[in-house]
Structure 1
Amino acid sequence: NLSTPYVAKLLGAKELVVIKYDSDLSTVDDALTAKHRLGDSMLGVVLNRVPKPRMQFVEEVVRPYLERHGVRVFAVLPHERLLASISVGELAKVLDGEILCCPERSDELVEHIMVGAMTVDAALSYFRRRPNKAVITGGDRPDIQLAALETSTRCVILTGNLRPSPIILGRAEEVGVPMMLVRHDTFTTVEIIEQFFGKSRFYQERKIARFEELLDERFDFKFFYELLGL
């Protein structure tokens, strides 16, 4: 039950504070509050998960404002869907689902979730809006399942514990898209995924490689090492 400032003081440690972007004002408030609480032991901050449309404003307005008020900003990192993605295997685990085909594709990363509850005519144009997605649909909707398989889909989640037809499974095998069977209804499935999305473990090679790229592009390592005396 020890506070972060107390532990840092006890260890004589320096802090680098990572601030998750919520809004421009809350980001400024969080950074100034951290500086007030931690004082000179705070090396600076990283502003994380900034929406791409807000990046320019944060770089040109928020960052200079914080630095004028004594808060060093080592990096402004954009929100990346890939870094918040979840693997097909993780989805199967959290949903207690059964992967019916293509288990070798369980490491594929899902960046978007889409629900297929429309007419088949609307499904194709709807599914084409999002790449690298998981489509949640009823096990009794072969038309929607086929539409999902014709677009950039990482897996199809079949709700209601209803198995797909052999024709659907055969097509999924052809295009290399796992079909996952879950016992939950569609609404419950969406709720479970929403609670877990963005909290998956950070061990996939693609995530690590992209994060390294972001740090190389945006983190001021030279200044950081100078402050550490390295």
Structure 2
Amino acid sequence: MVGLYIGSTTGYSGKNLLAMAMGLKFRREGFKVGYMKPVGAVPHMSDNRPGDADASFIQGVLGLDQDPQKVTPVLVTRDFTIKAFSEDLDDLMPSITDSYAELSEDKDVMIIGGSGSYLSSGTYCGVSGPDVSRALGAKTILVDRYSSELRYDYVLRTRAELGDDFLGVVFNDVPEHYMDELKELIVPFLERRSVKVLGIIPRDPLMGAIKVSDLAERLFGKIISAHAKVDRVVENFLIGTMQVENFMTHFKRHKNSAVIVGGDRADVQLVALEGNCPCLILTGNLYPNDIILTRSEVLEIPVIVVRDDTFTVAKKMEAIQESYKLRDMIKINHGAKLVNSELDYEHLMERLDL
């Protein structure tokens, strides 16, 4: 049986997507696949049993049905944190290794999902990524998601920490403009230092997409029109603070973008509606005039009204796109194909003796 720990340089890097994609791939290849998330930070009740929400969802995708308390033996709740900082916790590792032994009993491959940052998260209670992967005898893959740059120093630290137990790194959500530098400069640099780049996942608009209804909820906004179309998908966003002529130029280049605009900018609102944007987000708690409201109903484009100013909403949108969790099977299947088309499975199979 092979153990494969999936860690990341920071939270929301793509660990869950990689776990699902690899699990589905190994299953198609005929392997018996198990899954475990030793340390969970998203408490969730399943059949009146506590577990982790992400772990529960991934189990479902992989067709597994196991005790959530075994799948996630260490659940970080408020009570757990208070106890960890106020008194000595019992050694948590035995519960992890015992659960792992039970869950992996009849499996060919065990995928182990990390939590937070591989090198640091869980250090305060003795269950950091390196602590857990070593205790389970697992090999480690690191995921690094592009955010203005890549964390190659972190990747090198992980290689130094793990040695040959480090299988390599997957770079995720890489924009097109960065691809040449990554492939021609950074990948050769890392591989000269014994770090295998297992895959480069290009940025894909669908992976950061969110339904209008979910977006309104996350922004604490109110949908005031076209309620039947709240399942429309937003892939990106534009800020409509500029003059109409300049806005039109930008808007034509960015279809499927929600438009964030002041509630008093009827000129920009009308251009966005006629251009079939997925939704309008009106800031400052200002409601549109009757013409805008009527056009939004006729064109079936939802309008969301929020209290925050335009700058604050734009920052929130960036955070939502960074952290929005995969829960839609269309996105998961799309993401799995995207990941599996880029991963070097030949190298992985060789290193894992599969």
1:69 aligned onto 2:189 = no
Deviation at 1:163, TM superposition (A): 2.3
Deviation at 1:69, TM superposition (A): 2.5
Q: Distance in 2 between matches of 1:105 and 1:223?
A: 45
* Matched residue, 2:142: 17
User: 8 Å contact 1:86–1:198 — kept in the other structure?
Assistant: no
Moved more, 73-82 or 3-12: 73-82
Deviation at 1:36, TM superposition (A): 0.5
1:34 aligned onto 2:34 = no
Alignment of 1:96-175 (within 5 A): 96-175=220-299
Moved more, 32-41 or 205-214: 205-214
* Matched residue, 1:82: 206
Partner SS for 1:96: coil
Q: Distance in 2 between matches of 1:59 and 1:171?
A: 47
Unaligned 5+ segments in structure 1 are none
Deviation at 1:4, TM superposition (A): 1.1
Change (3 A) 1:163 1:57: closer
Change (3 A) 1:63 1:187: closer
Partner SS for 1:197: helix
Deviation at 1:206, TM superposition (A): 4.3
Q: For residues 52-85 of structure 1, what are the alpha-carbon distances to aligned partners after superposition, in whole Å with 9 as ceiling and x for unaligned?
A: 1222332244323323322222101223333233
Moved more, 150-159 or 190-199: 190-199
TM-score norm. by structure 1 comes to 0.86
* Matched residue, 1:212: 336
Q: Distance in 2 between matches of 1:124 and 1:70?
A: 49
One-letter amino acid of the counterpart of residue 229, structure 1: D
Q: For residues 187-207 of structure 1, what are the alpha-carbon distances to aligned partners after superposition, in whole Å with 9 as ceiling and x for unaligned?
A: 332333233332111123443
Partner SS for 2:170: strand
Deviation at 1:5, TM superposition (A): 0.7
Alignment of 1:189-208 (within 5 A): 189-208=313-332
User: 8 Å contact 2:237–2:258 — kept in the other structure?
Assistant: yes
User: 8 Å contact 1:133–1:152 — kept in the other structure?
Assistant: no
Q: Distance in 1 between matches of 2:154 and 2:311?
A: 35
TM-score norm. by structure 2 comes to 0.58
Q: Distance in 1 between matches of 2:212 and 2:182?
A: 34
* Matched residue, 2:52: none
Q: Distance in 2 between matches of 1:162 and 1:192?
A: 18
Q: Which 4+ stretches in 1 moved above 6 angstroms?
A: none
Q: Distance in 2 between matches of 1:18 and 1:27?
A: 10
Give me the identity figure in percent: 39
The Cα RMSD (Å) is: 2.4
One-letter amino acid of the counterpart of residue 202, structure 1: L
User: 8 Å contact 1:130–1:152 — kept in the other structure?
Assistant: no
1:51 aligned onto 2:175 = yes
Deviation at 1:41, TM superposition (A): 1.5
User: 8 Å contact 2:276–2:301 — kept in the other structure?
Assistant: no
Deviation at 1:149, TM superposition (A): 0.8
Q: Distance in 1 between matches of 2:153 and 2:144?
A: 10
Partner SS for 1:211: helix
Deviation at 1:148, TM superposition (A): 0.7
User: 8 Å contact 1:155–1:179 — kept in the other structure?
Assistant: yes
Deviation at 1:174, TM superposition (A): 2.6
One-letter amino acid of the counterpart of residue 336, structure 2: E
1:7 aligned onto 2:129 = no
